[in-house]
Structure 1
Amino acid sequence: MQHAVVSHDDWLTARRDFLKAEKELTRLRDKVAQQRLALPWVRINKEYVFDTPDGSSTLADLFDGRSQLLVQHFMFAPGWKEGCPSCSFMADHTDGMNKHLAHHDVTMIAVSRAPLADIERYRERMGWQFKWVSSFGTDFNYDFRVSFTPDEVAGGKIDYNFGEWREIGEEWPGVSAFYKDDAGEVFRTYSTYGRGVEVMMGTYNMLDLAPKGRNEAGGMDWVRRHDRYGQSLHKA
Protein backbone atom coordinates (compact mmCIF):
# COMPACT_ATOMS: atom_id res chain seq x y z
CA MET A 1 0.00 0.00 0.00
CA GLN A 2 1.33 3.42 -0.96
CA HIS A 3 0.90 6.11 1.68
CA ALA A 4 0.70 9.85 1.25
CA VAL A 5 3.36 11.76 3.17
CA VAL A 6 1.77 14.97 4.42
CA SER A 7 2.28 17.82 6.86
CA HIS A 8 1.58 17.31 10.56
CA ASP A 9 -1.57 19.45 10.29
CA ASP A 10 -2.90 17.31 7.43
CA TRP A 11 -2.04 14.16 9.40
CA LEU A 12 -4.04 15.49 12.37
CA THR A 13 -7.01 16.21 10.12
CA ALA A 14 -6.97 12.66 8.71
CA ARG A 15 -6.47 11.15 12.16
CA ARG A 16 -9.37 13.08 13.67
CA ASP A 17 -11.60 12.01 10.82
CA PHE A 18 -10.63 8.36 11.33
CA LEU A 19 -11.36 8.69 15.06
CA LYS A 20 -15.05 8.88 14.14
CA ALA A 21 -14.87 5.34 12.70
CA GLU A 22 -12.98 4.09 15.75
CA LYS A 23 -15.57 5.53 18.12
CA GLU A 24 -18.35 3.99 16.04
CA LEU A 25 -16.62 0.61 16.32
CA THR A 26 -16.22 1.04 20.08
CA ARG A 27 -19.91 1.81 20.50
CA LEU A 28 -20.85 -1.17 18.33
CA ARG A 29 -18.52 -3.45 20.30
CA ASP A 30 -20.12 -2.28 23.56
CA LYS A 31 -23.58 -2.91 22.10
CA VAL A 32 -22.64 -6.42 20.95
CA ALA A 33 -21.14 -7.16 24.38
CA GLN A 34 -24.46 -6.27 26.01
CA GLN A 35 -26.33 -8.46 23.52
CA ARG A 36 -23.97 -11.32 24.33
CA LEU A 37 -24.70 -10.94 28.05
CA ALA A 38 -28.43 -11.09 27.26
CA LEU A 39 -28.23 -14.42 25.41
CA PRO A 40 -30.15 -17.34 26.96
CA TRP A 41 -28.25 -20.04 28.86
CA VAL A 42 -28.45 -23.82 28.67
CA ARG A 43 -28.12 -26.06 31.70
CA ILE A 44 -25.37 -28.69 31.49
CA ASN A 45 -26.99 -31.96 32.52
CA LYS A 46 -24.32 -34.37 31.30
CA GLU A 47 -21.63 -35.35 33.81
CA TYR A 48 -18.29 -34.69 32.15
CA VAL A 49 -15.23 -35.98 34.00
CA PHE A 50 -11.79 -34.67 33.09
CA ASP A 51 -8.31 -35.96 33.83
CA THR A 52 -6.32 -33.23 35.60
CA PRO A 53 -2.96 -33.00 37.37
CA ASP A 54 -4.96 -33.14 40.63
CA GLY A 55 -6.98 -36.22 39.65
CA SER A 56 -10.44 -36.60 38.15
CA SER A 57 -12.58 -33.45 38.08
CA THR A 58 -16.10 -32.66 36.95
CA LEU A 59 -16.90 -29.56 34.94
CA ALA A 60 -18.22 -27.96 38.13
CA ASP A 61 -14.91 -28.68 39.88
CA LEU A 62 -12.99 -26.79 37.20
CA PHE A 63 -14.47 -23.46 38.33
CA ASP A 64 -11.97 -23.62 41.21
CA GLY A 65 -14.17 -21.73 43.66
CA ARG A 66 -15.31 -19.05 41.21
CA SER A 67 -18.69 -18.60 39.52
CA GLN A 68 -17.41 -18.15 35.95
CA LEU A 69 -15.32 -20.43 33.76
CA LEU A 70 -13.72 -19.76 30.38
CA VAL A 71 -12.47 -22.72 28.36
CA GLN A 72 -10.07 -22.65 25.46
CA HIS A 73 -10.86 -25.65 23.27
CA PHE A 74 -7.22 -26.36 22.45
CA MET A 75 -6.60 -28.50 19.35
CA PHE A 76 -4.50 -31.41 20.60
CA ALA A 77 -5.82 -34.85 19.64
CA PRO A 78 -4.69 -38.27 20.86
CA GLY A 79 -1.62 -39.35 18.92
CA TRP A 80 -0.43 -35.83 18.14
CA LYS A 81 3.14 -35.05 19.18
CA GLU A 82 2.42 -31.35 19.75
CA GLY A 83 -0.50 -29.03 20.26
CA CYS A 84 -1.77 -26.92 17.37
CA PRO A 85 0.53 -23.94 16.64
CA SER A 86 -2.35 -21.46 16.32
CA CYS A 87 -3.89 -22.67 19.58
CA SER A 88 -0.44 -22.38 21.13
CA PHE A 89 -0.29 -18.77 19.90
CA MET A 90 -3.63 -18.18 21.64
CA ALA A 91 -2.46 -19.89 24.82
CA ASP A 92 0.64 -17.69 25.00
CA HIS A 93 -1.71 -14.91 26.13
CA THR A 94 -3.43 -16.87 28.91
CA ASP A 95 -1.06 -16.69 31.87
CA GLY A 96 -0.96 -12.89 31.83
CA MET A 97 -4.75 -12.65 31.64
CA ASN A 98 -5.24 -15.22 34.39
CA LYS A 99 -3.51 -13.04 36.97
CA HIS A 100 -6.36 -10.57 36.54
CA LEU A 101 -9.27 -12.88 35.67
CA ALA A 102 -8.77 -14.90 38.85
CA HIS A 103 -9.30 -11.73 40.89
CA HIS A 104 -12.50 -10.93 39.03
CA ASP A 105 -14.34 -14.21 39.69
CA VAL A 106 -13.25 -15.89 36.44
CA THR A 107 -11.27 -19.11 36.01
CA MET A 108 -9.70 -19.75 32.62
CA ILE A 109 -8.39 -23.15 31.52
CA ALA A 110 -7.69 -25.19 28.40
CA VAL A 111 -9.26 -28.53 27.45
CA SER A 112 -7.94 -31.02 24.88
CA ARG A 113 -8.65 -34.62 23.90
CA ALA A 114 -5.00 -35.68 24.18
CA PRO A 115 -4.08 -37.83 27.19
CA LEU A 116 -3.00 -35.82 30.22
CA ALA A 117 0.60 -37.05 30.07
CA ASP A 118 0.97 -35.63 26.54
CA ILE A 119 -0.66 -32.37 27.58
CA GLU A 120 1.61 -31.97 30.60
CA ARG A 121 4.71 -32.71 28.55
CA TYR A 122 3.81 -30.04 26.01
CA ARG A 123 2.69 -27.51 28.64
CA GLU A 124 6.00 -27.84 30.46
CA ARG A 125 7.91 -27.46 27.21
CA MET A 126 6.05 -24.23 26.45
CA GLY A 127 6.47 -22.90 29.99
CA TRP A 128 2.77 -22.28 30.60
CA GLN A 129 1.28 -22.16 34.10
CA PHE A 130 -2.47 -22.23 33.34
CA LYS A 131 -4.53 -25.31 34.10
CA TRP A 132 -4.92 -27.63 31.12
CA VAL A 133 -7.07 -30.75 31.43
CA SER A 134 -7.82 -33.78 29.30
CA SER A 135 -11.26 -34.72 28.00
CA PHE A 136 -9.88 -38.00 26.65
CA GLY A 137 -12.58 -40.67 26.53
CA THR A 138 -15.45 -38.22 27.06
CA ASP A 139 -18.02 -36.60 24.76
CA PHE A 140 -17.06 -33.07 25.81
CA ASN A 141 -15.20 -32.02 22.66
CA TYR A 142 -17.76 -33.65 20.39
CA ASP A 143 -20.70 -32.09 22.23
CA PHE A 144 -19.12 -28.65 21.95
CA ARG A 145 -18.42 -29.18 18.23
CA VAL A 146 -14.65 -28.79 18.34
CA SER A 147 -13.83 -32.46 17.64
CA PHE A 148 -15.36 -34.63 14.94
CA THR A 149 -15.61 -38.36 14.37
CA PRO A 150 -13.96 -40.11 11.41
CA ASP A 151 -17.41 -40.64 9.90
CA GLU A 152 -18.19 -36.92 10.13
CA VAL A 153 -14.87 -36.02 8.55
CA ALA A 154 -15.33 -38.61 5.80
CA GLY A 155 -18.72 -37.08 4.99
CA GLY A 156 -17.03 -34.01 3.54
CA LYS A 157 -18.71 -31.45 5.78
CA ILE A 158 -19.02 -30.84 9.50
CA ASP A 159 -21.25 -28.81 11.79
CA TYR A 160 -18.83 -26.15 13.03
CA ASN A 161 -19.23 -22.48 13.96
CA PHE A 162 -23.02 -22.84 14.03
CA GLY A 163 -23.26 -23.90 10.42
CA GLU A 164 -22.05 -26.19 7.68
CA TRP A 165 -18.27 -26.17 7.42
CA ARG A 166 -16.44 -27.65 4.43
CA GLU A 167 -12.86 -27.20 5.62
CA ILE A 168 -12.44 -30.70 6.97
CA GLY A 169 -10.46 -31.73 10.02
CA GLU A 170 -10.92 -33.71 13.20
CA GLU A 171 -10.07 -30.80 15.53
CA TRP A 172 -11.12 -27.15 15.48
CA PRO A 173 -10.63 -24.24 17.90
CA GLY A 174 -13.15 -22.57 20.13
CA VAL A 175 -13.75 -20.71 23.37
CA SER A 176 -16.70 -21.44 25.67
CA ALA A 177 -18.06 -19.68 28.75
CA PHE A 178 -19.86 -21.24 31.71
CA TYR A 179 -21.59 -20.07 34.88
CA LYS A 180 -22.08 -21.97 38.14
CA ASP A 181 -24.86 -20.85 40.46
CA ASP A 182 -25.03 -21.11 44.25
CA ALA A 183 -26.73 -24.51 43.96
CA GLY A 184 -23.78 -25.86 41.97
CA GLU A 185 -25.65 -26.08 38.67
CA VAL A 186 -23.56 -25.31 35.59
CA PHE A 187 -24.79 -23.41 32.53
CA ARG A 188 -23.27 -22.86 29.12
CA THR A 189 -23.58 -19.16 28.39
CA TYR A 190 -21.54 -18.65 25.24
CA SER A 191 -19.27 -20.29 22.67
CA THR A 192 -17.32 -18.81 19.78
CA TYR A 193 -15.43 -20.47 16.95
CA GLY A 194 -13.52 -19.62 13.78
CA ARG A 195 -12.26 -16.06 13.85
CA GLY A 196 -14.23 -15.51 17.03
CA VAL A 197 -11.30 -17.01 18.94
CA GLU A 198 -9.20 -13.97 17.99
CA VAL A 199 -10.59 -12.45 21.18
CA MET A 200 -7.76 -14.34 22.94
CA MET A 201 -5.05 -13.06 20.59
CA GLY A 202 -3.92 -9.74 22.01
CA THR A 203 -0.92 -9.85 19.67
CA TYR A 204 -3.28 -9.28 16.74
CA ASN A 205 -4.65 -6.14 18.38
CA MET A 206 -1.14 -4.71 18.53
CA LEU A 207 -0.33 -5.80 14.99
CA ASP A 208 -3.43 -3.94 13.82
CA LEU A 209 -1.75 -0.76 15.14
CA ALA A 210 1.58 -1.46 13.47
CA PRO A 211 2.43 0.18 10.10
CA LYS A 212 2.18 -3.11 8.17
CA GLY A 213 -0.82 -4.43 10.09
CA ARG A 214 -1.11 -8.20 10.29
CA ASN A 215 1.09 -8.60 7.22
CA GLU A 216 -0.15 -12.12 6.50
CA ALA A 217 0.20 -13.82 3.14
CA GLY A 218 -1.93 -16.83 4.02
CA GLY A 219 -3.76 -16.54 7.29
CA MET A 220 -1.55 -17.37 10.25
CA ASP A 221 1.27 -18.67 8.04
CA TRP A 222 3.86 -16.68 9.98
CA VAL A 223 2.90 -18.02 13.42
CA ARG A 224 5.20 -20.54 15.07
CA ARG A 225 5.24 -22.12 18.49
CA HIS A 226 7.15 -19.59 20.55
CA ASP A 227 10.13 -21.92 20.99
CA ARG A 228 10.43 -22.39 17.22
CA TYR A 229 11.00 -18.83 15.99
CA GLY A 230 14.77 -19.01 16.43
CA GLN A 231 16.58 -15.82 15.46
CA SER A 232 14.67 -15.22 12.23
CA LEU A 233 12.48 -12.17 11.70
CA HIS A 234 9.35 -12.14 9.57
CA LYS A 235 9.84 -9.81 6.63
CA ALA A 236 7.64 -9.11 3.65
Structure 2
Amino acid sequence: MPAHQIVSREEWLTARKALLIKEKEATRARDRLNAERMALPWVKVDKAYLFDTPNGRCTLAELFEGRSQLIVYHFMLGPDWDAGCTGCSFLADHLDGALAHLNHHDVTLTAVSRAPLAKIEAYKARMGWRFPWVSAFGSDFNFDYHVSFSREDLAGEEIVYNFTSLPSAQGHDELPGLSAFYRDEQGEVFHTYSSYARGPEELIGTLMILDRAPKGRNEASTMDFVRRHDEYEDKPAAHGCCG
Protein backbone atom coordinates (compact mmCIF):
# COMPACT_ATOMS: atom_id res chain seq x y z
CA MET A 1 0.00 0.00 0.00
CA PRO A 2 1.51 3.40 -0.97
CA ALA A 3 2.54 5.75 1.80
CA HIS A 4 0.11 8.55 2.50
CA GLN A 5 1.02 12.20 2.78
CA ILE A 6 1.09 13.36 6.39
CA VAL A 7 -0.45 16.82 6.78
CA SER A 8 -1.73 19.20 9.43
CA ARG A 9 -5.26 18.90 10.81
CA GLU A 10 -6.23 22.02 8.84
CA GLU A 11 -4.97 20.55 5.55
CA TRP A 12 -6.70 17.25 6.31
CA LEU A 13 -9.97 19.09 6.97
CA THR A 14 -9.74 20.89 3.62
CA ALA A 15 -9.23 17.60 1.80
CA ARG A 16 -11.99 15.90 3.77
CA LYS A 17 -14.51 18.64 2.96
CA ALA A 18 -13.67 18.35 -0.73
CA LEU A 19 -14.33 14.61 -0.57
CA LEU A 20 -17.57 15.24 1.34
CA ILE A 21 -18.93 17.18 -1.64
CA LYS A 22 -18.38 14.12 -3.84
CA GLU A 23 -19.86 11.78 -1.20
CA LYS A 24 -23.02 13.90 -1.10
CA GLU A 25 -23.17 13.79 -4.91
CA ALA A 26 -22.93 10.01 -4.78
CA THR A 27 -25.69 9.83 -2.15
CA ARG A 28 -28.01 11.97 -4.27
CA ALA A 29 -27.15 9.87 -7.33
CA ARG A 30 -28.03 6.73 -5.35
CA ASP A 31 -31.38 8.29 -4.38
CA ARG A 32 -32.12 9.00 -8.04
CA LEU A 33 -31.11 5.45 -8.98
CA ASN A 34 -33.39 4.01 -6.29
CA ALA A 35 -36.30 6.04 -7.67
CA GLU A 36 -35.62 4.72 -11.18
CA ARG A 37 -35.39 1.19 -9.81
CA MET A 38 -38.83 1.49 -8.19
CA ALA A 39 -40.23 2.92 -11.44
CA LEU A 40 -39.25 -0.16 -13.46
CA PRO A 41 -42.17 -1.96 -15.16
CA TRP A 42 -43.22 -5.33 -13.74
CA VAL A 43 -43.71 -8.75 -15.33
CA LYS A 44 -46.48 -11.07 -14.22
CA VAL A 45 -45.19 -14.49 -13.16
CA ASP A 46 -47.48 -16.99 -14.85
CA LYS A 47 -45.30 -20.06 -14.45
CA ALA A 48 -45.95 -22.31 -11.45
CA TYR A 49 -42.89 -22.92 -9.30
CA LEU A 50 -42.66 -25.28 -6.34
CA PHE A 51 -40.05 -25.15 -3.59
CA ASP A 52 -39.12 -27.58 -0.86
CA THR A 53 -39.21 -25.91 2.57
CA PRO A 54 -38.99 -27.18 6.16
CA ASN A 55 -42.81 -26.86 6.22
CA GLY A 56 -43.41 -28.80 3.04
CA ARG A 57 -43.76 -27.84 -0.60
CA CYS A 58 -44.66 -24.20 -1.29
CA THR A 59 -45.48 -22.10 -4.31
CA LEU A 60 -43.73 -18.83 -5.08
CA ALA A 61 -46.76 -16.94 -3.75
CA GLU A 62 -46.60 -18.88 -0.47
CA LEU A 63 -42.95 -17.88 0.04
CA PHE A 64 -44.21 -14.32 0.71
CA GLU A 65 -45.58 -15.61 4.06
CA GLY A 66 -48.54 -13.23 3.88
CA ARG A 67 -46.49 -10.13 3.01
CA SER A 68 -46.69 -8.23 -0.27
CA GLN A 69 -42.97 -8.12 -1.08
CA LEU A 70 -40.42 -10.89 -1.50
CA ILE A 71 -36.65 -10.64 -1.90
CA VAL A 72 -34.95 -13.81 -3.14
CA TYR A 73 -31.21 -14.22 -2.81
CA HIS A 74 -30.02 -16.78 -5.35
CA PHE A 75 -27.48 -18.59 -3.17
CA MET A 76 -24.87 -20.64 -5.00
CA LEU A 77 -25.28 -24.16 -3.65
CA GLY A 78 -25.75 -26.75 -6.37
CA PRO A 79 -27.13 -30.26 -6.00
CA ASP A 80 -23.64 -31.80 -6.09
CA TRP A 81 -21.83 -29.16 -4.03
CA ASP A 82 -20.32 -30.01 -0.66
CA ALA A 83 -20.68 -26.47 0.73
CA GLY A 84 -22.17 -23.13 -0.18
CA CYS A 85 -20.26 -20.57 -2.21
CA THR A 86 -17.79 -18.61 -0.06
CA GLY A 87 -18.93 -15.25 -1.42
CA CYS A 88 -22.61 -16.09 -0.98
CA SER A 89 -21.84 -17.24 2.56
CA PHE A 90 -20.10 -13.92 3.23
CA LEU A 91 -23.23 -12.05 2.10
CA ALA A 92 -25.52 -14.40 4.03
CA ASP A 93 -23.69 -13.59 7.26
CA HIS A 94 -25.35 -10.16 7.06
CA LEU A 95 -28.97 -11.27 6.61
CA ASP A 96 -30.20 -12.46 10.00
CA GLY A 97 -30.01 -9.06 11.67
CA ALA A 98 -32.15 -7.53 8.93
CA LEU A 99 -35.04 -10.01 9.18
CA ALA A 100 -37.08 -8.30 11.92
CA HIS A 101 -36.79 -4.93 10.18
CA LEU A 102 -37.69 -6.32 6.75
CA ASN A 103 -40.65 -8.32 8.07
CA HIS A 104 -41.96 -5.27 9.92
CA HIS A 105 -41.73 -3.34 6.64
CA ASP A 106 -43.84 -5.88 4.71
CA VAL A 107 -40.84 -7.64 3.12
CA THR A 108 -40.00 -11.34 3.29
CA LEU A 109 -36.46 -12.39 2.48
CA THR A 110 -35.47 -15.92 1.54
CA ALA A 111 -32.50 -17.63 -0.04
CA VAL A 112 -33.12 -20.11 -2.86
CA SER A 113 -30.69 -22.79 -4.03
CA ARG A 114 -30.92 -25.83 -6.28
CA ALA A 115 -29.40 -28.14 -3.68
CA PRO A 116 -31.84 -30.55 -2.03
CA LEU A 117 -33.37 -29.24 1.19
CA ALA A 118 -31.43 -31.66 3.42
CA LYS A 119 -28.13 -30.31 2.09
CA ILE A 120 -29.33 -26.72 2.58
CA GLU A 121 -30.44 -27.43 6.14
CA ALA A 122 -27.11 -29.07 7.00
CA TYR A 123 -25.07 -26.16 5.69
CA LYS A 124 -27.40 -23.63 7.31
CA ALA A 125 -26.91 -25.39 10.67
CA ARG A 126 -23.14 -25.41 10.19
CA MET A 127 -23.17 -21.64 9.59
CA GLY A 128 -25.65 -20.92 12.40
CA TRP A 129 -28.05 -18.92 10.21
CA ARG A 130 -31.76 -18.31 10.85
CA PHE A 131 -33.01 -16.71 7.61
CA PRO A 132 -35.44 -18.71 5.44
CA TRP A 133 -33.74 -20.84 2.80
CA VAL A 134 -35.62 -23.09 0.40
CA SER A 135 -34.75 -25.58 -2.31
CA ALA A 136 -35.58 -25.20 -5.99
CA PHE A 137 -34.34 -28.73 -6.68
CA GLY A 138 -36.18 -30.08 -9.72
CA SER A 139 -37.62 -26.64 -10.53
CA ASP A 140 -36.92 -24.31 -13.45
CA PHE A 141 -36.85 -21.29 -11.13
CA ASN A 142 -33.08 -20.72 -11.00
CA PHE A 143 -32.71 -21.48 -14.70
CA ASP A 144 -35.49 -19.04 -15.63
CA TYR A 145 -33.88 -16.30 -13.56
CA HIS A 146 -30.48 -16.98 -15.16
CA VAL A 147 -28.47 -18.04 -12.12
CA SER A 148 -28.24 -21.78 -12.85
CA PHE A 149 -26.91 -23.37 -16.01
CA SER A 150 -27.19 -26.92 -17.28
CA ARG A 151 -24.36 -28.93 -18.80
CA GLU A 152 -25.95 -28.27 -22.19
CA ASP A 153 -25.92 -24.52 -21.51
CA LEU A 154 -22.25 -24.60 -20.57
CA ALA A 155 -21.40 -26.80 -23.57
CA GLY A 156 -22.72 -24.13 -25.92
CA GLU A 157 -20.95 -20.99 -27.05
CA GLU A 158 -22.74 -18.47 -24.83
CA ILE A 159 -24.82 -18.12 -21.72
CA VAL A 160 -26.97 -15.18 -20.61
CA TYR A 161 -25.98 -13.71 -17.26
CA ASN A 162 -26.40 -10.20 -15.86
CA PHE A 163 -28.57 -9.32 -18.87
CA THR A 164 -25.81 -9.93 -21.37
CA SER A 165 -24.33 -12.79 -23.36
CA LEU A 166 -21.09 -14.23 -22.05
CA PRO A 167 -18.80 -16.92 -23.42
CA SER A 168 -19.89 -20.15 -21.78
CA ALA A 169 -16.29 -20.70 -20.68
CA GLN A 170 -16.82 -17.79 -18.24
CA GLY A 171 -19.92 -19.45 -16.81
CA HIS A 172 -20.53 -21.82 -13.93
CA ASP A 173 -23.33 -24.21 -13.05
CA GLU A 174 -24.42 -21.73 -10.34
CA LEU A 175 -23.98 -17.93 -10.21
CA PRO A 176 -25.19 -15.34 -7.68
CA GLY A 177 -28.08 -12.93 -7.94
CA LEU A 178 -31.00 -11.26 -6.23
CA SER A 179 -34.60 -10.99 -7.42
CA ALA A 180 -37.59 -9.04 -6.10
CA PHE A 181 -41.29 -9.89 -6.41
CA TYR A 182 -44.63 -8.31 -5.52
CA ARG A 183 -47.84 -10.12 -4.59
CA ASP A 184 -51.13 -8.24 -4.96
CA GLU A 185 -54.34 -8.72 -2.99
CA GLN A 186 -55.61 -11.20 -5.57
CA GLY A 187 -52.54 -13.38 -5.09
CA GLU A 188 -50.96 -12.54 -8.44
CA VAL A 189 -47.15 -12.41 -8.37
CA PHE A 190 -45.02 -9.99 -10.35
CA HIS A 191 -41.28 -9.96 -10.99
CA THR A 192 -40.07 -6.42 -10.30
CA TYR A 193 -36.26 -6.51 -10.25
CA SER A 194 -33.17 -8.68 -10.53
CA SER A 195 -29.50 -7.95 -10.00
CA TYR A 196 -26.44 -10.10 -10.58
CA ALA A 197 -22.66 -10.30 -10.22
CA ARG A 198 -21.59 -7.38 -7.97
CA GLY A 199 -25.10 -5.92 -8.03
CA PRO A 200 -26.10 -7.18 -4.54
CA GLU A 201 -22.78 -6.04 -3.05
CA GLU A 202 -24.40 -3.30 -0.97
CA LEU A 203 -26.05 -6.03 1.13
CA ILE A 204 -22.59 -6.88 2.47
CA GLY A 205 -22.13 -4.49 5.37
CA THR A 206 -18.56 -5.68 6.02
CA LEU A 207 -17.49 -4.32 2.63
CA MET A 208 -19.16 -0.99 3.35
CA ILE A 209 -17.18 -0.77 6.61
CA LEU A 210 -13.93 -1.76 4.89
CA ASP A 211 -14.49 0.96 2.29
CA ARG A 212 -14.07 3.43 5.16
CA ALA A 213 -11.07 1.72 6.76
CA PRO A 214 -7.54 3.07 6.13
CA LYS A 215 -6.58 0.14 3.87
CA GLY A 216 -10.01 -0.23 2.27
CA ARG A 217 -10.76 -3.71 0.96
CA ASN A 218 -7.05 -4.45 0.60
CA GLU A 219 -7.59 -7.11 -2.05
CA ALA A 220 -5.75 -8.23 -5.18
CA SER A 221 -8.96 -9.56 -6.75
CA THR A 222 -12.60 -9.18 -5.75
CA MET A 223 -13.11 -10.45 -2.18
CA ASP A 224 -9.99 -12.64 -2.30
CA PHE A 225 -9.65 -12.26 1.46
CA VAL A 226 -13.03 -13.80 2.26
CA ARG A 227 -13.44 -17.20 3.91
CA ARG A 228 -16.47 -18.90 5.41
CA HIS A 229 -16.72 -17.54 8.92
CA ASP A 230 -15.75 -20.86 10.50
CA GLU A 231 -12.66 -21.24 8.30
CA TYR A 232 -10.58 -18.25 9.40
CA GLU A 233 -7.36 -19.32 11.10
CA ASP A 234 -6.99 -16.11 13.11
CA LYS A 235 -10.36 -16.05 14.83
CA PRO A 236 -10.75 -13.03 17.15
CA ALA A 237 -10.22 -13.54 20.85
CA ALA A 238 -13.33 -13.84 23.00
CA HIS A 239 -12.49 -10.60 24.81
CA GLY A 240 -10.64 -7.60 23.50
CA CYS A 241 -9.02 -4.85 25.54
CA CYS A 242 -12.46 -3.49 26.44
CA GLY A 243 -14.01 -6.87 27.27
TMscore range, shorter length: over 0.9
Amino acid aligned to 2:135: S
Q: Name the stretch that deviates more: 177-186 or 155-164.
A: 155-164
Change (3 A) 1:232 1:93: closer
Calculate percent identity across the aligned residue pairs: 58
What is the RMSD of the two structures over their aligned residues, measured on CA atoms? Answer: 1.0
1: distance between equivalents of 2:216 and 2:123? Answer: 31
Amino acid aligned to 2:14: T
Equivalent residue number for residue 90 of structure 2: 89
1: distance between equivalents of 2:52 and 2:63? Answer: 11
* Contact 1:156-1:168 within 8 A present in 2 as well: no
2: distance between equivalents of 1:79 and 1:25? Answer: 42
| From 194, 199, 206, the counterpart of 2:209 | 206
Equivalent residue number for residue 173 of structure 1: 176
Instruction: Tell me if 1:215 matches 2:228.
Output: no
2: distance between equivalents of 1:230 and 1:184? Answer: 48
Equivalent residue number for residue 5 of structure 1: 6
* Contact 1:67-1:105 within 8 A present in 2 as well: yes
Q: How many residues align?
A: 233
Deviations 1:104-153 (A, max 9, x none): 10000100000000000000010000110000001000000000111111
Instruction: Tell me if 1:189 matches 2:197.
Output: no
SS of 2:129's equivalent in the other structure is coil
1:2 offset after TM fit, Å?
Answer: 2.4
SS of 2:108's equivalent in the other structure is strand
TM-score normalised to structure 1 length: 0.97
After TM superposition, the runs of 4+ consecutive aligned structure 1 residues lying more than 6 A away are: none
Equivalent residue number for residue 37 of structure 1: 38
SS of 1:3's equivalent in the other structure is coil
Change (3 A) 1:157 1:49: same
Amino acid aligned to 1:61: E
In structure 2, the gaps of 5 or more residues are 237-243
Deviations 1:27-47 (A, max 9, x none): 100000000000000000011
1:99 offset after TM fit, Å?
Answer: 1.8
Counterparts of residues 64-213 of structure 1 (less than 5 Å): 64-166=65-167, 167-213=170-216
SS of 1:102's equivalent in the other structure is helix
Amino acid aligned to 1:206: I
SS of 2:73's equivalent in the other structure is strand
1:230 offset after TM fit, Å?
Answer: 2.6
Amino acid aligned to 1:186: V
Amino acid aligned to 1:197: P
TM-score normalised to structure 2 length: 0.94
Amino acid aligned to 1:30: D
SS of 1:172's equivalent in the other structure is coil
* Contact 2:202-2:208 within 8 A present in 1 as well: no
In structure 1, the gaps of 5 or more residues are none
2: distance between equivalents of 1:213 and 1:147? Answer: 32
